[in-house]
Amino acid sequence: DVQLVESGGGLVQPGGSLRLLCEASGFSFSNSAMNWVRQAAGKGLEWVSYISGTSGIIHYAASVKGRFTISRDNAKNSLYLQMNSLRAEDTAFYYCARDWDGSGRGFDSWGQGALVTVSS
C-alpha cells in the first residue's frame, strides 16, 4: 500500500526556519512527481509546491516563492520542504501528496499532515 508520512512540524517564531520531511513507501517514488499542499485551520486547501520525479521541474505558489524550497532524495524515498522566513500566515497543516500523472492536476495519495505553527 502507498504510504506517505510527514514529520518535522512544530512551533517556530516569525522569521524562523523549519524543514518538513515526507517519507514514502509502497510505490516507485523516483517515478512519481510529488507536491506539498497546506491547509490553515478552518480554511480550504492551498497548493504549495511541485517537484518532478527527477527534480528537473519545480514550481511554487506565489505566496511561498523565494522562501520555501522543495527537494527530494530518491535513494531515501524522501521529499522535503525547507521553509525559511516563516510568517504567521504560514501556520497550517502541511500535506505531502503524490501526483497521479505528474501533471499537477490530481493527487491520489496524501500523508496525514504535519502541523506548522508560526508564533512568538
Partner 1 sequence: QSVLTQPPSVSAAPGQKVTISCSGSSSNIGNNHVSWYHQVPGTAPKLLIYDRNKRPSGIPDRFSGSKSGTSATLGITGLQTGDEGDYYCGTWDNSLSAGVFGGGTKLIVL
| Interface with partner 1 (CB under 8 A) | 35, 37, 44-47, 50, 59-62, 95, 100-101, 103-113
CA 20 from centre of chain: 7
Cβ-defined contacts of 69-78 (< 8 Å, 24+): 70/36, 72/29, 72/34, 74/29, 74/30, 77/23, 77/24, 77/25, 77/29, 78/21, 78/22, 78/23, 78/24
Closest distance to partner 1 from the beta carbon of 84 (Å): 20
The nearest distance, CB 70 to partner 1, in angstroms, is 12
**Nearer to partner 1 among residue 88 and residue 115 (C-beta):** 115
Altogether, the residues listed in the chain come to a count of 120
* Shortest distance (Å) from residue 16 CB to partner 1: 25
Q: Which is nearer to partner 1, 10 or 106 (CB)?
A: 106
Closer Cβ to partner 1, 5 or 13, answer by number: 5
